[in-house]
């Protein structure tokens, strides 16, 4: 029967443990790296959604402001069956449009000639900076004409 040298056993087991510690460390670094990538992708997506939400809020505000403009004149402004695009607007007090947005206003008189209501349809369009697709907001209201 051979007697094993105890110093060799300890030396071999230390090497084995050091190898396992290296593998454990590499696995831990890999898990942390995957976690950091996931967190960074989440922040990137959240930023894109925030920009999209901001654009939609600006467009909605612009459309609402355009409708309020016609209320201000209390029926004294005449729009009869016409479409107005931003470039054709000449009133100096009309809400201006940022360069990245485009606005179209469609005024349609009521079918009933006794009703003095004009339907206003405001469409604000813009190109989404994240996807590059065109998006729009549409608001409808009725406007009293004298």
pTM: 0.62
Span 6-144: which CATH code?
2.20.25.110
pLDDT in tens, the chain (146 residues): 555 555 554 545 555 565 677 888 899 999 999 999 999 999 999 988 888 888 889 889 888 888 887 777 655 565 544 556 665 565 665 666 667 788 887 777 767 666 777 788 888 888 887 778 888 999 988 877 66
Q: What's the pLDDT at 105? A: 79
Could you tell me which of 132, 82, 86, 131 has the C-alpha nearest to residue 107?
82
Domain boundaries, the chain: 6-144
Q: What's the pLDDT at 79? A: 56
- DSSP character string of 102-140: EEEEEEEE-SSTT--EEEEEEEEEEE-TTT--EEEEEEE
Quote the CA–CA distance of 7 and 1 in Å, as a whole number. 18
């Amino acid at each position: 029967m051979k007697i094993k040298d105890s110093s060799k056993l300890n030396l071999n087991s230390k090497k084995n443990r050091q190898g396992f510690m290296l593998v454990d460390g590499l696995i831990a670094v890999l898990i942390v790296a995957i976690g950091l990538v996931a967190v960074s992708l989440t922040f990137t997506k959240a930023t894109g959604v925030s920009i999209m939400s901001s654009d939609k809020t600006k467009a909605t505000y612009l459309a609402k402001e355009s409708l309020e403009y016609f209320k201000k004149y209390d029926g004294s402004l005449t729009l009869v069956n016409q479409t107005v695009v931003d470039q054709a607007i000449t009133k100096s007090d009309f809400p201006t449009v940022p360069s990245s947005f485009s606005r179209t206003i469609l005024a349609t008189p009521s079918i009933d000639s006794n009703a003095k209501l004009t339907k206003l349809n405001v469409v604000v369009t813009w190109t989404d900076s994240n996807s590059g697709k065109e998006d729009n907001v549409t608001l409808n209201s009725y406007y009293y004409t004298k």
